[in-house]
Chains A and B, each alone.
Chain A
């Protein structure tokens, strides 16, 4: 059974960097059939796919255009986890952030517990 455990701060000021980590158990961040993804949810924007990292003989990263200039998703093979960094946050980045596994079928079959991140001065 795959489990994803999120960690990271929930309160940021504008212009700071959002940093979240997702620890994986029951699978490997280096899996050749999965991708590791961040999704956020807010009342104003709904569910929004942010990006993913995955390993297919080498590491790949895909990011949503809406955050491409500010986002980094990195794997950490030594700790079997992956992270999200979002620079220069604004109140519009206030949302619940989820880490997920994208399966072989390209669905999000396992989700972290979610982290409410609030950006406020």
Chain B
């Protein structure tokens, strides 16, 4: 169903750097901004990154986003236990005329 592909899981020990990829196409990531959301268990998603690489107020600078061509990435440096959550990328799709979300990546802190 999802047109944006993410790895189902990622993990690291406290303090490590974890990177999550998001792969799309020219009709979505290639031509539009990418956004990232964090979802803690039992809660609504929370905006983490907007317009490819900007952090809303209150989001730690451990989180960073980037985009290249039809792919995007979210990096978490200095991994902490409270970062254990599901992460989703999102963007607009010009062909489908809808916002599309990634398949989601579950981050586990070992």
A-B contact pairs, 15 of them (CB 8 A): A46-B2, A47-B88, A49-B99, A49-B101, A62-B97, A65-B96, A105-B33, A105-B51, A106-B33, A107-B90, A108-B47, A108-B90, A109-B50, A111-B44, A111-B45
Residue B104 CB within 8 A of the other chain? yes
How far, in angstroms, from A65 to B1 measured CA to CA in the complex? Answer: 13
Main DSSP-derived SS at the B contact region: strand
Q: What mask results when residues 78 to 100 of chain B are scored 1 for a CB within 8 Å of chain A, else 0?
A: 00000000001010100011111
Contact-residue size bin, chain A (C-beta under 8 Å from the other chain): 20 to 34
Are B101 and A48 neighbours in the complex by a CB distance under 8 Å?
yes
Is A113 a contact of B44 with CB atoms below 8 Å? yes
State the A residues within 8 Å of B (CB): 39, 44-49, 62, 64-65, 98, 103, 105-109, 111-114
**B37 partner residues in chain A, CB cutoff 8 A:** 108
Interface contact B50-A105, CB-CB below 8 Å: yes
Indicate if B103 sits at the interface (CB-CB under 8 A): yes
Q: A45-B1, A113-B44 are in contact. Are A106 and B92 (CB under 8 A)?
A: yes
